[in-house]
Structures are given as structure tokens and as C-alpha cells.
Amino acid sequence: MGYIHFIGIGGISMSGIAELMLSKGCRVSGSDAHPSGITERLEELGAKIGYPQKADNIPDDTELVVMTAAIHEDNPELMEARRRGLKIETRADYLGSIMKGYDTPISVAGTHGKTTTTAMISEILMSAGADPTVSIGGVLRDIGGNFRIGADRFFVMEACEYTNSYHSFYPRIGVILNVEADHLDFFKDIDDIRSSFNRFAHNIPDDGVLVINADIEGYDEVVKDLRCRIVTFGKSEGADWHPVSVSYDAFGRPAFEAEHDGKREQFSLGVYGSHNVINSLAAMAVAHELGIGYDAVKKGLADFTGTDRRFEIKGELNGFTIIDDYAHHPTEIRATLETAKKYPHRDLWVIFQSHTYTRTKALMGDFAEALSHADHVICAEIYAARETDTLGISGATLAEEIRKKGIDCYYFPTFEEIKKFVRETLIDNDLLITMGAGDVVKIGDELLSEG
């Protein structure tokens, strides 16, 4: 048996797949830019890893090379694999083929809420003693990371729509949480996005189930021509699963009744916000399809206290509280700020770092409107990610748009300037949220560590 070679094995998703294959007795090799805690663990488990990426990292008896979509054609290992005529698969294609080895693969898709809902389903399955295998886009504390190796019955996977990678997945149960405009550097428009989600849903077999939010705008386009069974959830009473009598505790954690088939059951969540009521309805609908009883569902949802960077309480400094949140789309920002308003505080401050120039320009007005629900906003410089600045905008551009909404807003080009302003300005009982999908989390961590 030859090696499976992973280009960029130290990545959070690739490392989980590599560990899974090691657990199945496969020979695994890989490469990364430099050693890390992740790669050292994989080496302890038997992986052969080379640093940095170079052609001779690929063992002579390699059978398959797995790469992420971020690998460029001039990557030395990819070029070597092509020269040798080796079989090459993307991470998504390989993960999709792995899914087929499980009795019930479950894929959770949507513009936002994927990580949280995948985690909720996983917690419920673990509470039921179902021993799921889990692949998630964030760190779930109860599994100590983003990947859990379980039995061969259930595989719960977060499914990202970017570059249509989730079209490689073939779930028996698919979940669509929401469909909104995002990743417009790849998709042409919202119609293109709806078509993409419809293609994902068509991968569900005829005897499978799509669990979908009935409140999605353009719902009919998303479910067009599907032959699988459809189960709905959402705010409206017309959905198969919907909430009744939602209330919140002093910290904004919801309690509510879920109505299904004319019967109601009481639930309490360990996470914050009304958006998580809807996410939890999706999770309990999946659990119901799997035959899991309400006791395990209640325990799983109550025990789940969130994943890293989802309304994560980081600590307190000089009398004010610091929370970090991954929100990087206007809908997510609104949900986070709605949640924050239920959390005890005096003034609500947000340090926002927009993610990519393309998204910022396309959704500039929506970002400004969403952030206007804070008392004060501090704009950091845009996090470029995979892009270069060819659009002539910056964090200052967004700050100006927010000021037009009548909101107290500041822009600082460096994290050091932001930290200095925060130390000098915030007072007792203020609430500070560092928000965005880039490295803005460092601001809160450094404020707390530096004191």
C-alpha cells in the first residue's frame, strides 16, 4: 500500500483527514511550511512529514496526492506529482469519497451558521452515545479540535459553498441553513448562489432528506426539481419545526418550545442569541430523522456552549468585557449585535475587520447598516486573505459609510493604535466585541495578556 500525500498537511482540515486515514491503517505523508503542534502530533501517529514544501517530500511509492484549492499550479510538489503521473485529488473530492464509507453522512451548508449547527448535531449525537465522526470548520471544545474520529455509522461534516467545493459531497441528510449573497469574488450573483445550493441538494439520494430553512428568500429555486424528502424549519408556523414562546435569561441564552407535528417540547440552549434558536431547530430536525429522542437532544443542546470565535467570552480588562466573534457577513453582524444587546453592558463597542476587498465593496452599504446597531465602531484595516487591493478601498472607506449613519466610528490602520485607543477610552461595564474572519481576534488576546 502506497502513501497518501497531503500538500499542506498542517492545515486544520487537512490534518483531520490525515489523522482519520492514519486511524484506518493507511500510510500517510505530507508537507508544510514549518513544524507545528499539529504536524508534530501527526508525526507521533506515524505520518512522514517534510518541511518546507519541495518535490522530494513525496515518497517514491505514493499512490495519491491530496491538495487544497489554495495550492497553485507552480507548487513544487504539485508539479512533481504531475510529472510522475500520480493521481491527484482536491481536499473536497477526497473528503467526499471518504463520506461514502459511512452509513449516514450528514452535510451542513448555508451562508452562515454552518459551524455552530454542525457542532450542535455532533453534540446531540455524542449525547446519544452514537460515536460520530465529525469534520467542522472551527474548534469544538468537547472534541478538542475540529475533527473527531468515531465509528463508521455517522459522519457529520460542515459543507462550504465557496468554489462549489460542497458539490463533491454526497450526504444522506443535507442541511441548508440560509442562502444569501456572499463570496461574490467567485459567484456571479444571488441567482448563481441559489443554483449552487440547488446543485448541492441534488447530491442527496432519492431516499435521503433535505432539512432546509423555510424562510430562505428564493426557497423554490433552491429546492427546484428535488426528488428527496424535504423537512423544513424556521420562524414561521408553516415550517415543520418552528419555535414558540422564546425567552432569554440574563445573559441572552434562549429558552423556547419547539413545535413539530402539533406537539411542543421545551428546550434551553447553552449558547446565545435568537439566530441559534433557528440553528438548533435544524439540529433537532436532523436528530429526529435519525431516531434520536428528545432527552439526548435536550442534553446535547444544553451542554453545547459554543465553538471558538462564536460569541466567545475572552475575559475582562479594566472593568470592561471582551468578546470575540467570527461574524463577517452583514446578516451575521446583525445577529451578533442583537445577541450582544441582551448581554449585560453599558455601551457596546465593536472592533470590526472586514474580510476581503471584494466582499467589502460588494456589501459596503449592508456592512454600514449592520454595524450601525452598535453604540461605537472601530474599523481596522481590511483583511486581504487571498486578494490584493485593486479596488481602491480600505477600512477608512467603511468607517466613513458608518459615520453617515450617525454612529460614532473610528478608523486606525494598525492594531497597536486600536489597542491604545481602547485602553484610553473604554470604561467600567462597557462591552467590546472583536469581530471578523481575519486576525482581529489578536487585539482582544493581546489586550488581555498585556493588561
Beta carbons of 354 and 371 less than 8 angstroms apart: no
CA angle 274, 277, 280 (to 5 degrees): 150
Q: Which amino acid is at 9?
A: I
Which one of the listed residues 77, 158, 180, 401 is annotated catalytic?
A: 158
- Other CB atoms within 10 Å distance of the CB of residue 89: 16
The answer to whether residues 186 and 170 touch, using CB atoms and an 8 Å cutoff, is no
**405 has catalytic annotation:** no
Strands 87-90 and 263-268: unpaired
Give the Cα separation of 351 and 355 in Å (integer).
Answer: 13
Quick check: 22 and 84 in contact, CB under 8 A? Answer: no
HEC readout, 201-253: HCCCCCCCEEEEECCCCCHHHHCCCCCCEEEEECCCCCCCEEEEEEEECCCCC
Give the span between the Cα atoms of 428 and 431, in whole angstroms.
9
Q: Is the peptide bond before 52 cis (omega within 30 degrees of 0)?
A: yes
Distance CA 393, CA 6 (A): 37
Distance between CA atoms of residues 166 and 351, nearest Å: 32
Residue 115 is a catalytic residue: yes
In order of 5, 162, 218, 335, the CA distances from 193 in angstroms are 33, 10, 11, 22
Active site residue 48: no
| Residue bearing cell 514544501 | 53
For the beta sheet containing 348-352, the strands, ordered from the edge strand earlier in sequence to the opposite edge, are 312-317, 320-325, 431-435, 348-352, 376-379, 408-411
Looking at 19, 62, 114, 312, which residue is catalytic?
114
Burial annotation 198-211 (CB, 10 A radius, 16+ → b, else e): bebbebbeeebbbb
Name the residue among 319, 390, 318, 324 with its Cα closest to residue 351: 324
CA distances from 253 to 66, 261, 276, 320, 342 (A): 41, 26, 9, 20, 9
Out of 39, 62, 104, 115, pick the active-site residue. Answer: 115
> Among all residues, which ones are annotated catalytic?
114-115, 158
